[in-house]
Amino acid sequence: MKSFNYVITDEVGIHARPAGLLVKEAKKYESTVTIVKGDRKADARKLMMLMSLGVKCGEEITVEAEGPDEDAAAAGMEKFFEETL
């Protein structure tokens, strides 16, 4: 499993538009991508699960990728977060 931490810089956090883009990005990979906030986790391919985390600006999350293309998934997701959130 590959993982990285990221502090959300988007002023409204993970709201509907970027969450939709995040789901689209996560679906590009065969690996399972999970977003972790505190003791709660959400499958990055499920929009409503992501939204239920309520991630706000300044909060740190952990992104985990596990599966056959986890290296590419972790790198791609990290790039996505840096450019979008």
Write out pLDDT tens, residues 33-48: 999 999 999 999 999 9
In this prediction the pTM is 0.92
User: Do residues 51 and 1 make contact, with C-beta atoms less than 8 angstroms apart?
Assistant: no
Q: What is the mean pLDDT of the chain?
A: 95
Q: Which one from 3, 6, 10, 15 is the annotated catalytic residue? A: 15
Extents of the domains making up the chain: 2-84
Question: Cα dihedral sign for 63, 67, 71, 77?
Answer: negative
Which CATH code for domain 2-84? 3.30.1340.10
Across the range 63-73, mean pLDDT stands at: 96
Percent helix / strand / coil, the chain, rounded to 5: 40, 25, 35
Across the range 53-79, mean pLDDT stands at: 96
- Give pLDDT, residue 46: 96
15 catalytic? Reply is yes
